[in-house]
Amino acid sequence: MTTKREQNWKYVIITMLFLGWSLGNFDRFIVNFAILDISKEFHLNGSLTGIVLSSFFAGYALMQIPGGWLADRFGYRKVIITAVFLWSIFTILTGAAWSFASIIIIRFLFGIGEGGYFPSASKGITNWFPHNERSRAMSIMLTSATIMGVVAPIVGTQLMQLLGWRQIFYIVGVIGLLLSVAFFFLVKEKQQPKQMKIEDPKVKAPLKDVLKTPMIWKLFIAYFSIYAVNWGLNSWMPTYLANVKGLNLTEVGVYSAIPPFVGIFAMLCSGYILDRLPEGKDKLIAAVFALMAGVFLLLMAISPNLILFIIFQSAVTVFLSFNII
């Protein structure tokens, strides 16, 4: 039987997962603004800038399957603590980058370090939350990304102008090291009752059998499409607003913060709504909203002014929130 203390501890778990994902997302967002100064300092053209931004995602993608396997093998707690510690080290090293090659390697290793966090955090939510609360719990954790999408453009750009881009990464890295210590003391795994273990034994399948499952490939295509749009916009929008629209860093930060601000409410509402939909209806909603996101992406491409451009991007953020959870 679940004790009152265990029922309450799940809120500690989701709070820690929220804080960890907030920090990881802050770094991912702030580099999109720091890249403006990084490109100038290292004399990077558009193609080389793209390689810098993409190097993180290469490492991150490479670590997704091993990250999930490690969480199953050693427990989500150990993987999360290791992930936060490693990405904090590479955050500090990002600030110490001395060349184009060095920042590529550092950001790639940073992606590997962070890659194990999300699958492990998902397992943690499954471990602590009943089925009818998991979408809500996931939406709370994922809301950290949209919150950091607001904080990083506004606060981060101001600190960057005050302290310089390198100092931002030093500060965030130190905060991450402290957070990894907090995870060590506050995050634990919920032990399932022995009766439940007997009634619901885990069935382990070889990786090759998992890769033959049609649902796995459907999810792969779906998430590839979602994140190609989501992180494509997040990564390149600051550069686009600065170089094409001619905005200064403060203006770039303000305009970039608007879609994520809208996304905070969209993410919370989507988790609440999806938990209450009849089984199967969530797929229909996701499909329709994905099509709507595509329509507004096209409208972004042909928008006649900056205001409409930001409105259309905000709409894309709202519709995609129902597909991410």
Q: Could you read off the pLDDT tens digit of each residue along the chain, which spans 325 residues? A: 456 666 778 899 999 999 999 999 998 899 999 999 999 999 999 899 999 999 999 999 899 878 888 988 899 999 999 999 999 999 999 999 999 999 999 999 999 999 999 999 999 999 888 887 887 888 889 888 888 989 999 998 999 999 999 999 999 999 999 999 999 999 888 776 655 444 445 556 666 776 778 877 877 888 788 888 888 888 888 999 998 888 998 999 999 999 998 888 887 787 777 777 777 677 788 888 889 999 999 999 899 999 999 999 999 998 888 777 6
In a domain, 68, yes or no: yes
In a domain, 179, yes or no: yes
Q: Which domain holds residue 160?
A: 4-189+203-324
CB atoms closer than 10 angstroms to residue 291: 10
* CATH code assigned at 307: 1.20.1250.20
Q: Please tell me the distance from the alpha carbon of residue 21 to that of residue 15, in angstroms, as a whole number.
A: 10
In a domain, 198, yes or no: no
Q: Please tell me the distance from the alpha carbon of residue 318 to that of residue 127, in angstroms, as a whole number.
A: 28
Count structural domains, the chain: 1
In a domain, 320, yes or no: yes
Helix (H) and strand (E) counts in the chain: 14, 0
In a domain, 121, yes or no: yes
Note whether 274 and 135 are within 8 A (CB): yes
In a domain, 297, yes or no: yes
Residues sharing a CB contact under 8 Å with residue 167, sequence separation 6 or more, in sequence order: 95, 159
CB atoms closer than 10 angstroms to residue 12: 13
C-alpha torsion 283→322→236→152, nearest 10:
-150
In a domain, 175, yes or no: yes
CA distances from 314 to 100, 135, 222, 230 (A): 33, 22, 20, 11
In a domain, 197, yes or no: no
